[in-house]
Amino acid sequence: MPNLFDPLTIRDLTLRNRIVVSPMCQYSSADGYANEWHLVHLGSRAVGGAALVMTEATAVLPEGRISPQDLGIWDDGHVEMLARIVRFIHERGAFAGMQLAHAGRKASTYTPWKGQGAVPENEGGWQVLGPSEDPFSEDYPKPQPLTVEGIRRVTAAFAQAARHARQAGFDVIEIHAAHGYLVHEFLSPLSNHRQDQYGGSFENRTRLAREVVEAVRKTWPERSPLYIRISATDWEEGGWDPAQSVELARQLKALGIDLVDCSSGGNLSLARIPAGPGFQTPFAERIRREAGVLTGTVGFITASAQADHIIRSGQADLVLLAREMLRDPYWPLRAARELGYPTTWPVQYLRAAPPGSEPRQPATGSKPGR
Ligand SMILES: Cc1cc2nc3c(=O)[nH]c(=O)nc-3n(C[C@H](O)[C@H](O)[C@H](O)COP(=O)(O)O)c2cc1C
């Protein structure tokens, strides 16, 4: 069985270990532009030894931002700074992933440290879109149901965003279909009450997910991995559930998805979620086994032995860490030391490395095939 520090090859990309920086909103952009904050935030986690550093949910359209301060990639102008960040990540031996997102009915909300719920139009908010008319909760904006033409616009925006991500040099795209954002809103019978070809049956509710994957796969290079993040369950009777997730994963694998990143929840404000260490890992294990697709697991992974056990016991192929990476950007270097696995240290930091560590030269990580 592989361990946490074994490489993993997906298409033309070989990750140096199984550790991924999970997407995390930074609410630090103006008009969707990346800046020095993103360079330092993402760059330091590449220095810290993660194999793959994912951007936050990056909006494919301005109205698809969770907050007015979200990162975006709808405009040609967004590419330049993102390209600089990708170059830095590559020079540290890591790869760069972009999570592409549309927040649907959960868009136009306050940055967490500024408030809660809907941002009014006079403060930079906008009319949000969703599958149906129901808001996420009382203090969230009321969505306008998307027309079929509007759905096509969204799908085309995902494809255009993938083109931009490629121009910026990203190695991996992850489609955000989790946490109650637009694609998840369509998947769940509790948020999708449409009567047309995008609502009702499993086939209809999953149509948007399939169309987005197909549109992105067409634009995204054949050699480059494509992931999707799903919420494997709504944690609510009658909602989206693990059995539907397995079937969706099977279908999306056939359309070119390489890895399913298994999260949960986020679509229903009153759902009771039994959160705790390892609570989402059974979803990754089941989808991996029953759909025969690579999976990633996320949620309350903080300890090196815990992460190593997940990989060794074949429950998932990658571990994604969010909050622990905020506490310690160098978590992968620490984990290698604790577990006794050899790993490379940035040459600049070698004097702090355990004896026998190999130096990691700058600029050794440039991309294969690009
Ligand atoms: C500050 C912050 C921002 C987040 N933003 C995103 C995001 O943009 N996209 C996403 O899929 N998940 C997002 N998440 C969820 C994390 O990626 C992760 O799934 C969750 O925090 C559980 O992992 P953890 O226990 O390691 O923090 C965010 C989490 C945090 C703490």
| 131-156 pLDDT, tens digit each | 999 999 999 999 999 999 999 999 99
For the cut 90, the answer to whether the pLDDT of residue 356 exceeds it is no
From the list 120, 121, 146, the residue with the least C-alpha distance to 133 is 146
User: What count of other Cβ atoms lies within 10 Å of the Cβ of residue 40?
Assistant: 13
Residues marked active site are found at 181
Task: Provide mean pLDDT across the span 348-363.
Answer: 85
User: What count of other Cβ atoms lies within 10 Å of the Cβ of residue 368?
Assistant: 10
How close is the Cα of 296 to the center of ligand 1, in Å? 14
Angle at 54 between CA 140 and CA 330, to 5 degrees: 115
Tell which one of 19, 21, 24, 67 to mutate to probe ligand 1, the residue whose CB is within 8 A of the most ligand atoms. Answer: 24
- Please indicate whether residue 24, judged by its CB atom, sits closer than 6 Å to ligand 1: yes
How close is the Cα of 320 to the center of ligand 1, in Å? 9
- Please indicate whether residue 328, judged by its CB atom, sits closer than 6 Å to ligand 1: no
- Please indicate whether residue 78, judged by its CB atom, sits closer than 6 Å to ligand 1: no
- Please indicate whether residue 125, judged by its CB atom, sits closer than 6 Å to ligand 1: no
Task: Provide mean pLDDT across the span 299-310.
Answer: 98
State which H helix or E strand residue 138 sits in: none
- Please indicate whether residue 296, judged by its CB atom, sits closer than 6 Å to ligand 1: no
Confidence label for 360 from pLDDT (cuts 50, 70 and 90) = confident
Structure tokens at 67: 């907050």
| Better-scored residue on pLDDT, 232 or 360 | 232
Structure tokens at 11: 């298409």
* Ligand 1 atom nearest 325 alpha carbon: 26
> What pTM value is reported for the model?
0.97
Task: Provide mean pLDDT across the span 44-73.
Answer: 98
Domain 19-349 class, CATH top level: alpha beta
Question: Residue whose CA is closest, atom 3 of ligand 1?
Answer: 24
pLDDT, position 352:
93
- Please indicate whether residue 99, judged by its CB atom, sits closer than 6 Å to ligand 1: yes
d(CA 163, CA 364): 26
Task: Provide mean pLDDT across the span 73-92.
Answer: 98
For the cut 90, the answer to whether the pLDDT of residue 223 exceeds it is yes
Q: How far is CA 247 from the centre of its chain?
A: 20
Cα-flanking dihedrals φ and ψ of residue 304, to 5°? -65, -40
How close is the Cα of 19 to the center of ligand 1, in Å? 15
Beta strands in 22-167 (DSSP E): 52-59, 95-101, 129-130, 144-145
